[in-house]
Amino acid sequence: MDDKIIYNEIGKLVKKERKKKKITQEQLANITSYSLSFIANIESNTYQSFSIHTLYNIANALDISISELLPDKNELIEKKYMLICNHCKSNVSIPKEIGKLLEDIEKINSNNTYTCPNCKEKKMMINIEKE
């Protein structure tokens, strides 16, 4: 597993909790004595490593436990998204962002099919593989 995934998921949780408390990045930076750019990098989708002590300080500043900033293990499993044609068996890899969107759509309506670029039949179904 790539370290970036863990840091990015923690960053998303920091951002979520900060917004829930109605605290700006600048205010969080001031409370923790970290720079605004450091806080912004933690919350962004860029790779920003930090120590457990840093995470502890951020959790204290947000008045939550450090465990609330740790992602569930299911969020850390990288998924590979594919569309597979039930007619010609052709398969197409799709970007994870689109895969996640299609996964959400599947939850609403599981009868979705997509047009196969190979045989032009509307018989492609989403397939999600966990790596």
**Are 63 and 101 contained in the same domain?**
no
**Are 21 and 61 contained in the same domain?**
yes
DSSP per position, 102-119: HHHHHHH-TT--B--TTT
pLDDT reported for residue 1? 54
pLDDT reported for residue 106? 81
**Are 85 and 123 contained in the same domain?**
yes
pTM here is 0.62
Taking only the tens of pLDDT, the chain with its 131 residues reads 567 888 988 999 999 999 999 999 999 999 999 999 999 999 997 878 999 999 999 999 999 999 999 988 776 666 778 888 888 888 888 887 888 888 888 888 777 888 888 888 888 787 777 65
pLDDT reported for residue 2? 67
Angle between helices 36-43 and 3-20 (to 10 degrees): 110
**Are 48 and 97 contained in the same domain?**
no
Residue 39, C-beta contacts closer than 8 angstroms, at least 6 positions apart: 25, 28, 29, 32
pLDDT reported for residue 99? 83
**Are 14 and 64 contained in the same domain?**
yes
**Are 56 and 92 contained in the same domain?**
no
CATH code for position 35: 1.10.260.40
Domains identified in the chain, total number: 2
Q: Which domain range does residue 45 map to?
A: 3-69
pLDDT reported for residue 77? 67
- Mark which of 52, 69, 86 sits at the end of a domain: 69
